[in-house]
Amino acid sequence: MSEKTSAGAALAVPLWDSTPSGWDDPRWAALPGRSLVDAETGAAPRMSTLVQAASTDGFLWVRFTAEAAEIRVTMTRYKDKVWQEGAVEVYLRPPGDPCLYEFQVSPIGTVRDLRVHDPGGPVQVFDDSWSCAGWVTDARIRRDAQRNVCGWDAVFGIPWGAFGASVPAGGDGRWRIGAFRLEWDPDEFSALRAGGGGDPHGEDFLVDMALAPSMEHGGPANRMSIIAPTAMLPRDAGGEIRAW
């Protein structure tokens, strides 16, 4: 279900009373979402992407439902720059924090997390030495009845505690969020909010989060993959393009 919102409107983040089981948790079907727009013009992109968000057990949960006619990937290692092949991304800006925190997930579940210093500024620095302990992911590729690729889904949970703070009751404090999808050949960059020709790490692409009145804190998801910063998956021999 998609919800029409004006440019720059806050992203609703309701409170759930238990951890989602993954991209197929039935509660996602009833949760309003936001369709990404062309990051420069605000028009509908060639391939649609729906973003939904919820909070539970001390985590921010974000789900992407993406249309796709083909998926071509090579990257399988933690911290690979998956945005160069196609990925969905979440940016977070905690209240009072000068840094931006970036999370990337590919269609086959390869992930990258990093911290951006001076985001959108003239001397911004992309810091891959930072890792978000405890964030969780789940991804799948969808196929139609003829087994042709028709899209992909990704959901991941980001622990509020990774930023040294909890979300206060009533949503006090101004948490900012950005959501993006990158595709190549043909190139397409879609976002929660169009930012014109500005740097995607700048404020023009972020919106406020409308958080639930209270938060619960607990453990990680039950069947998602827990990201271990030291775990490395082997790259395919030769790094060849794999079509899914």
- Report the distance separating Cα 105 and Cα 65, nearest Å: 13
How does pLDDT run across 104-121, given as a tens digit for each residue? 999 999 999 999 999 988
State residue 107's pLDDT score: 93
State residue 213's pLDDT score: 56
Flag whether pLDDT at 221 surpasses 50: no
Report whether 16 contacts 63 (CB < 8 A): no
State residue 187's pLDDT score: 86
What's the whole-number average pLDDT of the chain?
A: 81
How does pLDDT run across 17-36, given as a tens digit for each residue? 888 887 788 999 989 899 99
Q: What share of the chain is helix, strand, coil (3-state, %, to 5)?
A: 10, 40, 55
State residue 165's pLDDT score: 58
Flag whether pLDDT at 190 surpasses 90: yes
Flag whether pLDDT at 225 surpasses 60: no
Flag whether pLDDT at 72 surpasses 60: yes
State residue 168's pLDDT score: 46
Look up residue 33 and give its amino acid.
G
Tell me how crowded residue 110 is: count the other CB atoms within 10 A of its CB: 24
- Could you give the 3-state DSSP secondary structure of residue 211? strand
∠ Cα 239 243 244 (to 5°): 125
Nearest by Cα to 34 from 58, 15, 62: 62
Place 242 in a pLDDT band, splitting at 50, 70 and 90: very low
Flag whether pLDDT at 10 surpasses 50: yes
Structure tokens at 59: 């985590």
State residue 218's pLDDT score: 39
Indicate the DSSP class of residue 26. G
Q: Higher model confidence: residue 206 or residue 244?
A: 206
Domains in the chain (CATH in brackets) are 11-243 (2.60.40.1190)
Flag whether pLDDT at 53 surpasses 80: yes
